[in-house]
Amino acid sequence: MKKTIFEEMGGTYVRCGDYFIPNLTLPEEEEPRFVGVWGQRHLQYLKEYRRNVYLDLMMSGRLNSYLVDIEEQAQERFERIVEQMNHTKAIILSMTPLERENPQILNASRKRRIAAGCGLQVVDVNRLLKSFEMLQQLTKSMSKGRFRGIPGMGGMPGMGGHGKMKGFGRKKRLK
């Protein structure tokens, strides 16, 4: 009798009455680890939008370890963001009310005092001031309507009428 593909791969059969039933064994599962909120959200995303990836991971038995890895990465990223926010808060609280109102008055000695007050370096203070300045420029250019070419930005309030749809409706003739 010719060997089947299953037998060529090392599989065996058990005879039950007139039938040959293959001896299938499930791979040993490692102890399931905890999948938190971020992993559960990613699982929902896979089920809704990446069905093939979800099925592939589920059928191969790697779904739980994949979700645990996603959970760990998301938790690390979350902790890093919280730490950055705490540093920003510490820098701002180390400033005087006048410095908070007008950051342009910060010279080198004031920056050193702020850095010493929050336990960080002057480089961190400079980085925060630079990002604040860039955000101010972005806000100012958005208020002047320089972002008309970006999809979804056309109808934003405060754009000075640049977001109005043109060319729709009946044209009025000039007499």
pLDDT digits (tens, 9 = 90+) for 110-139: 999 999 999 999 999 999 999 999 999 999
Per 3-state DSSP, the chain is made up of helix, strand and coil in percentages (nearest 5) of 55, 5, 40
- CA dihedral sign of residues 160, 166, 168, 172: positive
What tens digit of pLDDT does each residue of 136-169 get?
A: 999 988 888 776 656 555 555 554 544 444 444 4
pTM above 0.95, yes or no: no
